[in-house]
Amino acid sequence: MAASSEKFTYEKAADRLQSGSLRPALILLHGRGTDEHDLIGLAPSFDPRFLVYSLRAPFRYPFGGYMWFGADDLEHWDSDQLQASLDFCLKFSEHIIHIDGIDPSKIFLFGFSLGAMTALGLASLREKHFAGVVAHSGFYTANERLPQKFGPQSPPVFLAHGIYDPVIPVILGRSTFKFLQEHDVPVSYREYPIEHTIGEESLQDAAHWLQQQLDQTTFVSQEHHA
């Protein structure tokens, strides 16, 4: 189901449970040059408790579609645009909390490619704001213009990367894993015999990981209110 507001354009997957308010949410962040339609087809693979949203990035990509930030290469990218996209995504999370009754403590992110970098940037800037992050075929590098706050209290992260990725080499996935480990972030990492894409196995693993994280947050929430 397509939806739009004054600030946001996104796809919202059909609600398979219709179970009322305080639901967990999963926000999908697409790669460069696509839009909100690109990842929404993944929604049936995720736990039906999630309300799944696919958000369109705020900047137009010159060659078609949209992007979270411009990048001349993997070392030179537009920090101002990335910061603007981080603020944009935070506002979107607040938007769905208010319009759909989302539980603020159970918002998860799934980013692909440069959407994965955006998701990791969100995790670094706002500890505990998100319950977990899947970063598929992306990477993270520290930047003095985007102060990072990674640490043991950061949201858990699942990294997935294709061994044969010609766009974002697997060495960047490995270095991201090492970086997060060094900062004591709860992180899992897996590689797959794929290129720059989401494979069946990587999607299943990511969905299973998200289900596990959701079960843990649900248990903690129930325990807290007992």
What ranges do the domains of the chain cover?
A: 2-225
Confidence of residue 221 (pLDDT cuts 50, 70, 90): very low
pLDDT in tens, 181-201: 999 999 999 999 999 999 999
Residue bearing the bigger pLDDT, 119 or 126: 119
Q: What is the mean pLDDT of the chain?
A: 89
What is the torsion angle, in degrees rounded to the nearest 10, for the CA atoms of residue 29, residue 95, residue 22 and residue 51? -30
Q: Mean per-residue pLDDT for 79-105?
A: 93
Alpha helices in 25-169 (DSSP H): 79-100, 114-125
Q: Where is pLDDT greater, at 2 or 86?
A: 86
Q: Does pLDDT of 224 surpass 50? A: no
CATH code linked to domain 2-225: 3.40.50.1820
Q: Are 60 and 34 in contact (CB under 8 A)?
A: no
Burial 83-114 (b: 16+ CB within 10 A, else e): bebbebbeebbebbeeeeebbeebbbbbbbbb
Q: Which residue has the higher pLDDT, 76 or 158?
A: 158
Amino acid 223: pLDDT:
38
What is the model's pLDDT at position 79?
83
Tokens read off for 202? 């990587």
Identify the weakest region by mean pLDDT among 148-157, 158-167, 200-209. Answer: 148-157
The string of pLDDT tens digits covering residues 128-142 is 689 999 999 999 876
- Give the other-Cβ count within 10 Å of 60's Cβ: 10
Q: How confident is the model at residue 6 (pLDDT cuts 50, 70, 90)?
A: low
